[in-house]
Amino acid sequence: MGYLWALLGIVCIGSYMLPVRFSTTKGFSFFYLMGFGFFPVVILRWSSVRLLWAHPMWLGAALFSGVLWGLGQIAANLALEEISLAKAVVYFNFNTLLNIFLGLIFFNEATGMKSTALLLAGAALLVAGAIWVTKIPALPSKEGNLKKGVILSLLAGLFWGVYFFPVTWVRHFDSQASPSIGQTDVLIGLVLGGLITALGVPLFAKIKKPAPLDLALGFGSAFLWAAGMSGMLMSIQLLGLSRAVPIVNSNALVYTAWSLFVFKEIHFSEWPKVLGSVLLVLGGGVLMALSN
């Protein structure tokens, strides 16, 4: 059953940013629309909000995690205005490196030379994949400012690499409440934090008036993300972190397929290079997960 949950995570997380490509609303404005899609998710699981409310430390951590995820999503939306999905996802995957390092440094999840060697080998593959994909030429009409896109993608990877830290920290240091708070409850806290971030966007950015189709696409993106995160969290619970995360991170292959075959953002003749760079990044993630 854990592998079926992982499959749900792969497909949904590998597809939830597709609506951005179809929408005429981009960047900050599209994330604002995603916020409206989070409303029904929170309402359907209002019992989780009540449970978190009874544990203020957990509520604060989940909301903070959701805000960090939201900031990463804003950076990702802006990145996709500049570079292809296939390139962006390679840089997004630097979140794996940060996740593992945080686990090692703050939670002592692994020690010894073997862990260090696997981490360094995994990091080397990540860097190699990132450098390789940057050199692959994209269609001029499909790519804007490459340097800006890379920086924004790395920024998204940074936020996504640390956004689970608050919840993980609470789970380690509030063991009494941990058994009563499940993965779905944590997810709803994250969604609520993302909702708050999204609805706060008009305070610092100009929002375009959306067309009805754009609003529907925002809802769709939010639901796909929530479903994918459900799959990932359940697979972690059933398979363990070191096995589930590398499996779910293969959503990079789904992004690459969308980029090459649907949006045709890169010359089709370049697909072996794109696939090679993605596989390098995925291999790096596997090695780093094995260090855990």
Per-residue pLDDT band for 192 (boundaries 50, 70, 90) equals: very high
Which residue, among 65, 31, 27, has the nearest Cα to 200 in the 3D structure? 31
Other Cβ atoms closer than 10 A to 162: 18
| Residue whose tokens read 């203020």 | 56
Element (H, E) at 193: helix 183-199
Query: What does the radius of gyration of the chain's CA atoms come to, in whole angstroms?
Result: 18
Query: Which distant-in-sequence residues (6+ apart) come within 8 Å of 4 by Cβ?
Result: none
Mean pLDDT on 276-291: 73
pLDDT at res. 248: 77
- Residue spans of the domains in the chain: they are 2-290
Mean pLDDT on 207-228: 90
> What does pTM read for this prediction?
0.83
Other Cβ atoms closer than 10 A to 153: 26
Q: Identify which has the larger pLDDT, 142 or 214.
A: 214
Task: Name the average pLDDT for the chain.
Answer: 81
Q: Residue 19 pLDDT > 60, yes or no?
A: yes
Mean pLDDT on 175-186: 74
Determine the Cα–Cα distance for residues 112 and 116; give it in Å rounded to an integer: 7
Two structure tokens written together for 287: 């090695």
Determine the Cα–Cα distance for residues 79 and 244; give it in Å rounded to an integer: 27
Cα 151 to chain centroid, rounded: 16
pLDDT digits (tens, 9 = 90+) for 256-265: 778 777 777 7
| DSSP assignment letter at 266 | B
Element (H, E) at 171: helix 165-173
